[in-house]
Structure 1
Amino acid sequence: MHTVETVLLVLMLGSLTGIAARYFRVVPLPVIQIVLGAMLSWPRHGLHIAFDPELFLLLFIPPLLFADGWRIPKREFFALYKPILRLALGLVLFTVIGLGYLIHWMIPEMPLTVAFALAAVVSPTDAVAVSAVTRNLGMPSQTMRVLEGESLLNDASGLVALKFAVAATLTGLFSWTAIARDFIWIALGGLGVGALIGWGFAVAREVVTRRLGDVAATQMVLLLVLLPFAAYIVGDRIGASGILAAVAAGVMTNFTDLSRSEFVAERMQTEGAWTLVESAFNGAVFLLLGLQLPSIIGVTLREAGDRWWLPAGYAAAISSALLLLRWVWLTIGVQGSLWRAHGEGKMIEKPSYLLTVATTLAGIRGAVTLAGALSVPLLLNNADSFPGRDLLIFLATSTILLTLMIGTIGLPLVLKHIPSSGEPASAQEERRARVAACKAAITNMVLGKEQAESVDPQWLSQYQESAGRLTQEYRRRIDLLEDPVPAATPEASTETQDAIRQRRHRYVVELELRLKSLHVERDTLYEERHEYHINDESLRSLVAELDLAEASLRKRLHVARQAAGLVANTSAPFDPLDPGV
């Protein structure tokens, strides 16, 4: 199949599986996509795609990691840097050494350096897979930040370990000094060049948009989408980590966005563009993973012959050992820093045995593991075949599947038994910020005495009437969002709570009525177009206004229903397009 046709087919299938996942919410989207990819390529005349690891890492990984770095809450990320670094660096080293010796003991015909290479390949968790599986399961928010930070940073340490394990296999030489020196350059160089590129883009964007405004929004969004590729290529060319460069560019871009509150069109287009890119590339990653499975499994099973069960047993043992080592490191090496973070107020949820188990099961491997395994060279320096390469690729791929399935099945069971910590801290902060914004808007509408005397009386009367209506609307929103003040007696407290509940229910009814009215307005506009009373351009303009109003109204309705006790507070992200909101 032609390359262009293949890319179009993969993107189309990624979209279709995303739609299917809306109907099969029990099965995570990555599992659906991997299974579909395997089904498409399993028959002899199925879809077969040559997998180029370098091209794969360049095309699919940078935008996804850039988006994760752009979206991850920086406050929590830097507050929890100690457990994140202990997982991203310490756990990788612990895994490579412990799992490497176990693999060599279990498979004596695999040289120790190759065993270390396999351990290095499976040591980093995958940011895309972790977020895809855990996103809607109610994982405690700070624990989710630790997992996201770990998966963003541990790729560099895993790939460095792989590089030196492969080099030791090829040359027979090994140097801890060289490893430490190269790791420092690869990690710090990647972070530095990515931050520099992100900052340079921000300066150039500021110069252009301050002069042109939102006129250049579309072009700036396109350049922003290309930014992670530029960061990855430059980082890779200088011998540093292109992956960390893409992450650092995303983090830096987010920081510079904080001073661009007035560029509404650019912000809306950026959000829409990244949503599209993430959806398309996420689907492509897991579909390509599934497309490789039949050939990888077929080669290994043919070589194993009647002893087909032996590679399967190795894969199960390695996956189990991987999770066991992760649990041990979490218990011994990370638990202390989590307790300190909890004591300092940086982590709301209290560390517990079940939370450690959930964090262990969330150690899911993904696309970077497959790309790393397939990047192992075919030949040694003396032109002999690289020892155990096919088995290494099979075991790495099996580890991806097994950790994905274990996380998919085990995480919901474990998280169900973790007691809820109540309303998430982020939801409380969001509510307080909404109240502060409403109060600031009310204050801004008040005219000073001198200002009121200097304007036209008729305009002043109209202004005061409009300000009164708008102030009333803002006060209703404040009543909804503010916590009730406790009364002096239980009877008064009950009366107050009932009154607040009734007021909040009335506000929900009002918002639902407004949403229904918006739908009537939109349907009427389409009827006007069908009857040729307006043209297509007018229809698009008018409907766009209603669509934006509906997205805002849906969010307000979601918050109102939570405040009224009609919807449970959850850490799952709000989806304004979900008809159930």
Structure 2
Amino acid sequence: MHLIETVVGLLAIVLLSNVFSHFVKRVPVAIVQIGLGLLATTVLHIQIEIDTDWFLLLFIAPLLYSDAWRFPKHELWNLRGRIFGNAILLVVLTTVIGGVLIYYIVPELPLAVAFSIAAILSPTDPVAVQSIAKSAKLPPNVMHLVAGESLINDASGLVAFKFAVAAAATGTFSILGATTSFLYVSLVGTAVGAVIAVILNNLGDFLAEHDGNDVVFMVVLQLFSPFMIYIVAESIHASGVIAVVVAAIIANLHSKVDVNYSDELHFTGVMVWKVFGYLLNGLIFVILGVELPVALHEYAGESGHLALPMVLWYAFATWLVIFGIRVLWTFFNQKVWQLTRGGHRASWRVALISGLTGVRGAVTLAGVISVPVMMDNGVKFPERGLMLFIAATTIIISLVAAIVILPMLSEKPNKNTKTAVKPVAQHMTEARAQIYVLQSAVREIEEHRRETNQAVTYDIMLRYQMKIRKLQIDNISHEKLGPILEAEYRLRQVSFEAERSTLRRLLVAEQITPLVFTSESRRLDRAEAELEDVLLFNKKRSWQFTKRYLIRMMRAIRVWFADEDSERLMAEYLIAKHEGAKAAINAISQFIDSDEGRQLKIDQQAAHNLIITYRNRLEKEHNVNRKLTQAQLEAAKTELEVIGLNAQREAVQHLFEAHFISAEIGLKLRQRINFAETGLLTSEEE
């Protein structure tokens, strides 16, 4: 039970960190998650015992599979030389050169332990870089290179770390043994990944040929694949990481030529992996924050004789060494590329960006924590606490350095260059274009309104109108917003006055009882009191909606236990709402044409929304009287939804062809429409 509570708590922290990051956009979510993890272990005393094997299995294997499965083939092939250079040669150089330099910088560390620190710091963490890159606008080739090398350098870095730790524990090291072992784990891991991937691909093809190509099953098979592949490879002492990456790349290549690989399967798979990756990425950094005090505790217990500023300097110097090696390696590669193939000159800016993108993260911490406290001979592992502290602090330094410096080095887009190639000024913003598209859908849906589908028509139109209104309010200046809200508030008051007047008339005519009159009057009072919050779409809306539903529930209970006949009371409520809606529509129409209405310049959108709201109320009652079946309502709704989506697509195409929007905005609008259509079709299948 404790384990389940811990997992739920960690997931809650992941969600909380993303909420916080939404409001503080300058701070990457990875930093927020580390901070909250640190807070959780300090305040709530959450403790997690990390074992490298299960950590790699549960987190690294599925994330690497997802990245490799979605990695662009073209970029992977074009960057293959530099990817393998960074993933293998750079790891070796970082381990050897970095280990020697760290040994001289930190005299308390034995040489083998210094090699261990350099080796475990050699793998990069693309998860952290991707969260930072959103605000830094990094060059695509740099991001592809970092992502590509991270698919492989986890394996090479862990192998180098394993032999360095063994050397520190035993005092012996064999270059021949290390090389042989590396070749074994790499080649056998590649073979295992390739064989299992081919088997899984053939299984999918076999099922498809026998009408078993179920999308849900295939996605679950994708999710299961990295865990199975990793376990099989590790069971024969090969690299599970390399096996997973190879299998994912083969699955990616197979999907491009597989006639049974449908768009539905691709879309569902991508969405599921996004959700899965979202949780795993967040958990990794939360766990990183949880484990930082472990490093501090180890340091205080074993190496407390060193002053904290000195140890912090050791960590910073270690980061400088790793960073410097990566920068020089990148600049050297650029020089070689320039001399052999021509093209762009070597750039220190690109080299610095490459160095900063080499952020260290989860694999580094998982590896260094796995170092045994006691060696086989019963002696403590030398300077384990200092090693742990330096590695953990280096991770934080690499993240902070990337956050602060990368945005300064990233190129700003040349606006003049972009506008020069446009044939016509594209002056319509994304929000304005979206409003136009939604309004086009409303007009098309209204043209298809018939007596039999009026209820669902007004339902759909009201939802569209609320989206339009929200976009208008969110994207209008404060100077213009005030008069609009004032006019809309007055319009709502007119409708409330008409409903109250109708209630009094019905009470006098004895068409409703005092109970219904009082209940409906209170409803109008609450609606009027909440009007300002509803118009401004502010933070209180969630509580207002909750409060409203609770009041409705209490009213329903009161009606149920009332002395009067419940069915008669419900009929009176329907009369009150029906007559009130008719009176409100007439009052709104008259007010718009009045002198006061013309003086206030009532927004037609607001008036239209309000009238549709009342018409929707009337049509729902008519629909009950007509007693349409649920199947008929759903069929009418689906037909109208499809009409609206098609109208949106035509509107987007019209704006693009008229050069009112850019290709980028057009793509975003089409993606929204496609997502809406996918959601509609998915709900229909259910």
TM-score normalised by the chain length of structure 2: 0.65
- Over residues 155-199 of structure 1, what are the superposed CA-to-partner deviations in whole Å (9 max), with x where a residue is unaligned? 121111111111212222211111111111222222221122122
CA distance 1:512–1:524, change in 2 (3 Å): closer
- Contact 2:445–2:644 (CA<8 Å) still a contact in 1? no
What SS class does the counterpart of residue 387 from structure 1 fall into? coil
Q: 1:47 is matched with which residue?
A: 46
Say whether the 8 Å CA contact 1:554–1:576 is kept in structure 2. Answer: no
Q: CA deviation at 1:5?
A: 1.3
Offset at residue 263 of structure 1 (A): 2.4
- Alpha-carbon distance in 2 for matches of 1:211, 1:94: 52
- Compared CA separation, residues 549 and 117, structure 1 to 2 (3 A): farther
Does the C-alpha gap of structure 1 residues 330 and 547 become closer, same or farther in structure 2, counting only changes over 3 Å? Answer: farther
- Is 2:401 the partner of 1:403? no
1:384 matched to 2:379? The reply is yes
Q: Residues 25 and 499 (structure 1 numbering): CA distance in 2 closer, same or farther, change over 3 Å?
A: closer
Note the 1:440-519 alignment, pairs <5 A. 497-498=423-424, 511=437, 513-514=439-440
User: Percent identity at matched positions?
Assistant: 30
- 1:154 maps to which residue? 153
In the alignment, structure 1 residue 206 sits paired with structure 2 residue 205: yes
Q: Aligned with 1:60: secondary structure? A: helix
Structure 1 range deviating more: 259-268 or 94-103: 259-268
Letter in 1 for 2:371: V
Partners of 1:339 and 1:351 within 8 A in 2? no
Give, in whole Å, the separation in 1 of the partners of 2:173 and 2:650.
Answer: 57
Which position in structure 2 is the counterpart of 1:430? none
* Structure 2 unaligned residues grouped into runs of 5+: 447-456, 464-615, 674-686
The correspondence of residues 48-67 of structure 1 with structure 2, limited to 5 A, is 48-67=47-66
Q: CA separation in 2, counterparts of 1:534 and 1:179? A: 73
The residue number in structure 2 matching 1:115 is 114
CA displacement 1:27-78 (0-9 Å, x = unmatched):
11111111111111113x5322222222111111111110100111111111
Alignment match, 1:428: none
Structure 1 letter corresponding to 2:224: L
Offset at 1:128? 2.1
CA distance in structure 2 between the partners assigned to 1:556 and 1:86 by the alignment: 49
Change (3 A) 1:553 1:286: farther
Counterpart Cα distance in 2 of 1:5 and 1:28: 27
Q: Are 1:114 and 1:169, in contact at CA under 8 Å, matched by a contact in 2?
A: yes
Decide whether the 8 Å contact of 1:199 with 1:256 is kept in 2.
Answer: no
Matched, 1:95 2:94: yes
Partners in 2 of 1:562 and 1:10 — Cα distance? 49
Mapped contact 1:301–1:308 kept (Cα < 8 A): no
Q: Secondary structure at the match of 1:304?
A: coil
Q: Secondary structure at the match of 1:240?
A: coil
Q: Does 1:363 align with 2:362?
A: no
- For residues 249-285 of structure 1, the C-alpha deviation after alignment (integer angstroms, 9 at most, x for no partner) is 2111111111246624322321221111111111111
CA shift, 1:559, in A, is 12
Determine the structure 2 residue equivalent to 1:317: 317
CA contact (8 A) 1:529 1:536 kept: no
The letter of the residue matching 1:2 is: H
Match of 1:437 in 2: none
Distance, in Å, in 2 between the alignment partners of 1:381 and 1:339 is 51
SS of structure 1 residue aligned to 2:172: coil
- Are 2:230 and 2:244, in contact at CA under 8 Å, matched by a contact in 1? yes
Letter in 1 for 2:234: D
Shift of 1:6: 1.1
Question: How far apart in 1 are the matches of 2:87 and 2:669?
Answer: 29
* Pick aligned residue for 2:347 from 346, 349, 352: 352
Change in CA separation of 1:247 and 1:132 when aligned onto 2, cut-off 3 Å: farther
C-alpha separation in 2, matches of 1:297 and 1:30? 20
**Distance 1:573-1:23 versus aligned 2 partners, 3 A rule:** farther
**CA gap 1:320/1:200 in 2 versus in 1, 3 angstroms:** same
* Aligned-partner SS, 2:204: helix
Equivalent residue number for residue 449 of structure 1: none
Q: Please report how far the alpha carbon of residue 117 of structure 1 lies from its aligned counterpart in structure 2 after TM superposition.
A: 0.6
Deviations 1:67-121 (CA, angstroms, capped at 9, x unpaired): 1001111111111111112211121111111111122112223111111011101
The code of the aligned residue for 2:319 comes to S
Contact 2:233 2:239 in 1 (8 A): yes
Question: Any conservation in 1 of the 2:442–2:461 contact (CA below 8 Å)?
Answer: no
Please give the secondary structure, in 2, of the residue aligned with 1:48.
Answer: coil
8 Å CA contact retained: 2:10, 2:283: yes
Rounded Cα–Cα distance in structure 2 between residues aligned with 1:340 and 1:505: 48
Quote how far apart the aligned CAs of 1:555 are. 13
Offset at 1:510? 6.0
SS in 2 for 1:64: helix
Mapped contact 1:114–1:387 kept (Cα < 8 A): yes
1:251 and 2:262 matched: no
Whether the 8 Å contact between 1:518 and 1:550 is mirrored in structure 2 is: no
**Alignment correspondent of 2:470:** none
CA distance in 1, matches of 2:148, 2:654: 28
8 A contact 2:219–2:269 mirrored in 1: yes
> Relative contact order: is structure 1 or structure 2 higher (C-alpha 8 Å, sep ≥ 6)?
1
Alignment of 1:561-580 (within 5 A): 564=659, 576=671
2:192 corresponding residue in structure 1 = 193
Number of the residue aligned with 1:77: 76
547-556 vs 294-303, which moves further = 547-556
> CA–CA distance in 1 between the matches of 2:425 and 2:291?
61
CA contact (8 A) 2:219 2:268 kept: yes
Task: Map residues 170-249 of structure 1 onto 2, 5 A cutoff.
Answer: 170-212=169-211, 214=213, 216-249=214-247
Please give the alpha-carbon distance, in whole angstroms, between the structure 2 residues aligned to 1:556 and 1:111.
Answer: 69
Please identify, of 284-293 and 133-142, the stretch whose mean Cα deviation from structure 2 is larger.
Answer: 133-142
Question: Structure 1 length normalisation: TM-score?
Answer: 0.75
Matches of 2:236 and 2:407, distance apart in 1: 43
Whole-Å Cα distance in 1 between the matches of residues 304 and 277 of structure 2? 39
| Aligned Cα root-mean-square deviation (Å) | 4.1
Residue 137 of structure 1 deviates from its aligned partner by 2.9
Q: Where do 1:257-276 residues align within 5 Å?
A: 257-258=255-256, 259-260=258-259, 263-276=262-275
State the distance in 2 between where 1:544 and 1:280 align. Answer: 36
Radius of gyration: which is bigger? 2
Q: Quote the Cα distance in structure 2 between the aligned partners of 1:318 and 1:328.
A: 16
Are the equivalent residues in 2 in contact too, given 1:86–1:334 (CA < 8 A)?
no
Distance 1:569 1:263, change over 3 A: closer
Question: How many equivalent pairs are there?
Answer: 500
What is the CA–CA distance in structure 2 between the aligned matches of 1:409 and 1:529, rounded to whole Å?
57
Cα offset, 1:549, TM superposition:
8.4
CA deviations 1:353-378 (Å, max 9, x no partner) are 22221111111011000111012122
Equivalent AA in structure 2 for residue 195 of structure 1: A
Q: How does 1:117-132 map to 2 (within 5 A)?
A: 117-132=116-131
How far is the alpha carbon of 1:576 from its aligned partner? 4.8
Whole-angstrom distance in 1 between the partners of 2:658 and 2:146 = 29
1:231–1:242 CA contact under 8 A, matched in 2 = yes
Counterparts in 2 of 1:316 and 1:237: CA distance versus 1, 3 Å: same
Superposed displacement of residue 224, structure 1: 0.9
Q: Is the alpha carbon distance of 1:554 and 1:355 closer, same or farther for their aligned partners in structure 2, counting shifts above 3 Å?
A: farther
